[in-house]
Amino acid sequence: MQKKYFHGILFGLAAAAIGLVLFFTGVLDSFEGSTWDMRQQVFAQPGEATDEIVIILLDQKSLDWGKEENGLSWPWPREVYSYIINFLLRGNPKSLAFDVVYTEPSAYGVYDDAAFAGAIDESDRFISTVFLTEDRKDASVWPEEAPLPPAVITAEKEGGRESQYQHADFPIPEIISSAELLANVNLKPDKDGVFRRSRLLYYLNDTPVPSMALASYLVGSSGKSDITFTPRNLIIDDKKIPLDKDGNTILRFRGGSQTHTTFNAAEIIRSEIAVLSGEEPSIDPSVFQDTYIFFGFSAPGLMDLRPVPVAEVYPGVEVHATMLDNLLSNDFIKPLSLPAVILITCIISLGAAILVTTVSRTGLNAALYVIILLVPIALSVLMFRMGTWFPFIAVEISAAFALVGSGILKYSTEGQQKRFIKSAFKQYLSPAVIEQLINQPERLKLGGERRELSIFFSDIQGFTSISETLSPEDLTALLNEYLSAMTDIIQDYGGTVDKYEGDAIIAFWNAPLPLENHARAAVETALRCQKKLKEMGPEIKKRIGKELLMRIGMNTGHAVVGNMGSHSRFDYTMLGDAVNLAARLEGINKQFGTYTMISESTYELVKDAFPARELSRVAVVGRKEPVRVFEPFFPDDFAGRKEDFELFSRGLELFYKGDFEKAVKVFEGTAERDPAAGSYRKKCQNLLGNPPEDWGGVWIMTEK
C-alpha cells in the first residue's frame, strides 16, 4: 500500500507540473480563453450600473436611412453629428463619449468642422478620442490645448507594463479645443483575437491618458476622483480594481450586443429634427437624464466590430461601455493569484493520482474519474460567481494526466495495460486531440442542414429522339461536350453540380459554401448556358443534323442539403419541396415554348439585375397553391423585344381576368414570332370553347 501511495504522489506531482508548465508558458491560453467565454455566456447578467449606460449606434439602418431619405453618402458630414449631440444634451447626461477618431479635417470643408466643434462647445461633458500607438509618424507630445484628466493620480506609472506609449494620433485642433477630455480607444485583444481585457489608464510618455470608460467616469464625477496604483490593483476613489499580471482589467460582460439601453443614430437625428420643428420627438430626452452615453459604429462596413466572449460580432463602443459598467458596479473579474493556482492544481492532481492508485474496485474507480474531472468545472463556476477567473484548463489537464498516468501504471501492474490505454486515452486526452478524433469522422457521417438554395434543373429538348439517331460513340462525345461546357459555367458562378441524369443537369447555389447573391449567380448561369449552347449550335447541327435546345427551370427556397444515402454509399445532395418545384418548372417550359423559367421567389431576388416577363400563374402537380413564373433575360436582349413583351403583358392581364376573346386578339399580334403568345392564343381559344365555371387566372398543369 505504501508503494501505491508513493506512486500516486509521484504521478500527482508530475501531472501538476505538466499542467503548470503548460499554464505558465501560455500554451493553454487559447483553450482557457474558450472555456472562459463559455462561462461568460452562461452567467452574463446585468449589473448594478447597467441601466445607467446608454449606447447610440450608427448601424446599417442608420446608413440606409441617411442615404435613402437624405442623400447622405459615407462619410457623413460632421454637422450631422451635431444633431445627435444637441439632442442627447437635452437629456442632461453625466457624460457623452464619441468613439470616433476625427484625425483628418472634414471632406466637406472648414464649416463642417466648425459646426461640429460648436455643438461640442455647448457642453462640458463631451469626450473625444486619441489613438495611442507606436507608429513613429504620429505625435509624441501631448498638445498644450488638449485637456488633461480631471483626477489626482497619486502613484507613478507602472514600469514594464504595456500601458506606456511613445506616440499618439490626435483629433483635429477644433475638436481638441472643444472636448472636455480625450480618451484612448486603442483596444488590444488577447492572443486569439478575442477582447476579454482592457486598461483603464494609459500613458503617453509621462502624460496620463484615460480609457474611454475611465474618461466617462471622471467627467461624470466632476473631476473629484483620486487614482492610485498598488502592485495588483488600481484604486479609483473607493473602488479597488483588480489587475492581471500585465496590468489589465478582466471585463465582466453583461450579455450580447445591445444589452445596455441602445438607440440607433437615425432615431436620435429624427428626434432632434422633430424638436426643432416644434413636433413631438419619438424619443423622450429625459431617458438620458444622469446617464453615461457612448456613441459608436455597428454597421459592418464601418470596421468597428470585434469578437468578445459573449458574441463573435460586437461593436467596439460596447466594450468601452462594458468597462464603465464594471467600474461603476465595482465588479471587475479578479485573476486567481499564482500561489492559489499552484496550490489548487497540486491538491487536485495529488488527490486524483492517490485515489486511482489505491482504489481497486472498477465501479468506484469509474466514479472517481467522473467526480475528479468535474471538480475543476465546479470550481470554475463557483469562482466565477465570486468574481474570480479560475484557470480551469490547466487544472483539468493536470487532473486528467494524473488520472491517466496513475491508471496506466495500475492496469499495467495488473496485466491490463493495453485495454486501459485504449479506454483511458479516449476519455481523458487533451481537448485538441479529442477534437481531431471526433471531428474528422463526422465529415463522412450521414446528415444534412436546412439552407436557402437556388436550384437549377436542365434538360435537352427531344434528347431521346436525338440519341436514337447517333451511335454510342457519337452520343457519348456529344454529351461529354455539352455537359462539360455547361458544368464549366455553373462552377464559374459558384454553383455545385448535384448530379447528371443522362442529359439532365441538377445543380444548386449557396451550399456547401455560403454564396452572397446566390439567386443572381444562378440566373446568370442559366442565361450564360443558353448563350453558350447557341454558340455551339451550328457545329452541333452539322454533326447531328438537328439544333440542340435546352430547357431550364429554377427556384429559390429552403431545402435540406448534406450527405444522404446509406452508411456505405452516400452523396452530397438536396431534398425538399423547393427542389421539386425547380424540377417542375423545367418541364413546364414545354407548355409555353420557352427555355428558361424561374419562380417568383427567384425573380424577387434578381429583378434588379435581370429583367423578366411574367409568363403565368401555374398550378403544378403536387402543390396546392399556384406559382407565378417568369422568363428572365439579359438586359440588352429584353430591350430588343420590349414591344412584344408589353403586348404579351396586356394579353396576360386579359387572360387573368377571364376575357379570353380580347386576349386572343392581343396574343394574335405576336403569336407567330413568340411561342409563349402562341401557346396563350391556343389556350384562350380552348377556353372560349369550354368556358371554365370558376376562373382564377391559373394555368393548371396536369403533367409533371
Give 598-629 pLDDT, tens digit per residue.
999 999 999 999 999 999 999 987 777 899 99
Contact 557, 576 (CB under 8 A): yes
DSSP string, 278-311: TS--SS-GGGGTT-EEEEEE-SGGGS-EEEETTE
Cis geometry, peptide bond prior to residue 75 (ω within 30 degrees of 0)? yes
The region, left, alpha or beta by phi > 0 then psi within -120 to 50, assigned to residue 285 is alpha
Burial category of 153 from C-beta neighbours within 10 Å (exposed 0-12, middle 13-18, buried 19 and up): middle
DSSP E strands in 537-589: the ranges are 550-565, 570-575
pLDDT at 464: 85
Burial category of 233 from C-beta neighbours within 10 Å (exposed 0-12, middle 13-18, buried 19 and up): middle
| pLDDT for 165 beyond 90 | no
For the stretch 432-460, pLDDT in tens is 333 433 444 443 344 578 899 999 999 99
Pick the range with the lowest mean pLDDT from 296-300, 446-450, 460-464: 446-450
| pLDDT for 16 beyond 70 | yes
Cα(554)–Cα(616) distance, integer angstroms: 15
Grid cell, residue 178, equals: 472643444
pLDDT at 76: 93
Cα(348)–Cα(11) distance, integer angstroms: 12
Cα(269)–Cα(459) distance, integer angstroms: 56
pLDDT category, 420, cuts 50, 70, 90?
Answer: very low
Mean pLDDT, residues 405-410: 71
Cell 490505454 sits on residue: 421
| pLDDT for 371 beyond 70 | yes
Contact 335, 211 (CB under 8 A): no
Mean pLDDT, residues 316-341: 94
DSSP bridge partners of 449: 561
pTM of the model as a whole: 0.57
* Other residues' Cβ atoms within 10 Å of the Cβ of residue 586: 23
For residue 357, what is the enclosing H or E element? helix 338-358
Grid cell, residue 188, equals: 488590444
DSSP string, 224-287: -EEEEE-SSEEEETTEEEE--TTSPEEP---SSTT-SEEEEHHHHHHHHHHHHTTS--SS-GGG
Pick the range with the lowest mean pLDDT from 188-197, 291-300, 568-577: 568-577
pLDDT category, 521, cuts 50, 70, 90?
Answer: very high
Domain ranges of the chain: 2-28+334-412, 48-329, 447-640
CATH architecture designation of domain 447-640: 2-Layer Sandwich (3.30)
What SS3 state is found at 435? Answer: helix
